[in-house]
């Protein structure tokens, strides 16, 4: 059996999530066809592992158990898009405060995965929170993204790193926490 998984920091906090959901609603009013990330699925991916056999999932748990890092605050602010705002495929909120800490946490998590010989996506870590995927018709979207560069969603304290299972369904992914490591 194979499991599709990744390591992430979940977005937590009612007020923070409410502001993100309001932003998502504003984005849909541009007329673009968007696949919004469900509030319960909002997260910052530290390392995407992909589909791996069960024994590697157990080794990933072991890798995360060795991560020691202090708790820290992140603030989510500024809206952008990959590959760029004129041709958006993914819409994200940036990380302002806590950017260096998040980057260091991702570096540490990836180092522990390497120690356990667990393959993961080697793309450079860019701290961001995906809020929507663009499916088409992004006419007014580029202008809206420009106006949202000053958007601030708020902040949260990062207390936990989680190994998440991702089950793909026609209605979107279903995430399940397989293991979590509390930060100090």
For the four alpha carbons of 163, 166, 171 and 172, in that order, the dihedral sign comes to positive
73 close to 157: Cβ distance less than 8 angstroms: yes
CA angle centred on 66, ends 108 and 70, rounded to 5°: 60
64 close to 115: Cβ distance less than 8 angstroms: no
Q: Is 177 a catalytic residue?
A: no
Rounded-to-10 torsion of CA 75, 147, 123, 11? 30
The torsion angles phi and psi of 165, rounded to 5 degrees, stand at -95, 140
- 4, β-bridge pairs: 51
Burial class (CB in 10 A: 0-12, 13-18, 19+), 32: buried
Q: Is 91 a catalytic residue?
A: no
Pick the catalytic residue: 3, 8, 36, 43? Answer: 43
Pick the catalytic residue: 128, 162, 164, 181? Answer: 128
- Residues classed as catalytic: 43, 128
């Amino acid at each position: 059996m194979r499991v599709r998984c990744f390591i992430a920091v979940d977005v937590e906090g009612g007020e923070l999530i409410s502001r993100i959901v309001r932003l998502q609603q504003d984005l849909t009013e541009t007329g673009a066809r968007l696949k919004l990330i469900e509030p319960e699925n909002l997260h910052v991916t530290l390392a995407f592992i992909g589909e791996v056999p069960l024994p590697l999932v157990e080794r990933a748990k072991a890798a995360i158990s060795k991560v020691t890092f202090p708790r820290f605050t992140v603030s989510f602010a500024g809206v952008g898009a990959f590959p760029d705002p004129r041709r958006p495929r993914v819409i994200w909120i940036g990380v302002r405060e806590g950017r260096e800490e998040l980057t260091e946490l991702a570096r540490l998590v990836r180092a522990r995965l390497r120690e356990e010989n667990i393959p993961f996506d080697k793309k450079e870590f860019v701290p961001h929170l995906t809020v929507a995927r663009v499916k088409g018709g992004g006419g007014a979207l580029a202008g809206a993204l420009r106006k949202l560069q000053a958007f601030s969603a708020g902040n949260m304290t990062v207390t936990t790193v989680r190994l998440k299972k991702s089950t793909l369904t026609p209605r979107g992914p279903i995430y399940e926490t397989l293991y979590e490591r509390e930060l100090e």
